Amino acid sequence: MITRVVAVTLALVLVLASPALAVEIPSSPDGTVRAVAEGIASGHPEVLWQALPPSYQTDLNELTRLVADTVDPQLWDAAFATARRAAATLAIKKDIILASSTLQQSGAVGDDLDSGWDAAIAVLDAVCSSEISTTAGLKTVDWERYLATTGADIVERARSASEDDGNSPLDDLRRTRIELVSVDGERAVVRMTRPDGEPEDQELVRVEERWVPAEMAEGWDTRMDEARERLSNVTDEERMQMSTQGMMFLGMADGFLQQLEAVESPEQFDQMVAALVGPFLGGMQEAMGEEMVEPE
């Protein structure tokens, strides 16, 4: 029941020891978009938080505390510990995995995957080692400061990942042309034209003297109220069921990581994947075969 809410909370972090940079958010829609773009491109993703209406900040803080009060602390801590272990293992086994027939035949291997692998692992490790990796830290997290520290680290790693191919999304963001298309009362349209010349129109609405994407604003109160209600009404039985299922999943993940840690060659990795996927595929083929048999 609350898995989706937990995922949304973490997602908000990812779109997201130095203090946050105070940014003056302009009152104009195009000025707001420009300030946010320049802030992110300059390594200050905390501008995303500063550009939110005060009530949105309050909603997200309240939702974060409810998540922290609802989830099983042992499950939460174990999930982040498993993710940290996964990051370390994937970093060590990178060359073996990329050289395996499993990935080679999938067509997933390429310069983008190779150059972004280390950065992606580093980002995962940064999040999983941050204060939100415990429910105690989640209860007291300051999202603005979190974005100014962990968020800034993620942005920097994203910048480093793109240095090899010379095509930095952050540099593209800085060079994006931002212009006001129209304003009609509390609604506006801003056009963003990327360096490749591809324009994109963004509809904004004004909420508490802040311009935010219309898609975000529409239904915000309803979504927040529904999330609060779901979290507030979780029963002890539901919480126990979620914890049991979560621990079972983490146990499976730990078993997979144990096997991956023992892999010493691309061939062994292929064998491990075949052993894991084979029974699943066999079950699917058997089920499909039974469906194709017409009843007498």
- pLDDT at res. 12: 44
Confidence of residue 63 (pLDDT cuts 50, 70, 90): very high
Minimum mean pLDDT range among 31-35, 165-169, 189-193: 165-169
| Average pLDDT of the residues in 225-233 | 95
Q: Which tens digit of pLDDT belongs to each residue from 67-80? A: 999 999 999 999 99
Spatial CA neighbour of 241 closest among 11, 1, 30:
1
Nearest CA to 22 among 60, 54, 49?
Answer: 49
pTM: 0.77
Exposed / middle / buried, residue 169 (Cβ in 10 Å: 0-12, 13-18, 19+): middle
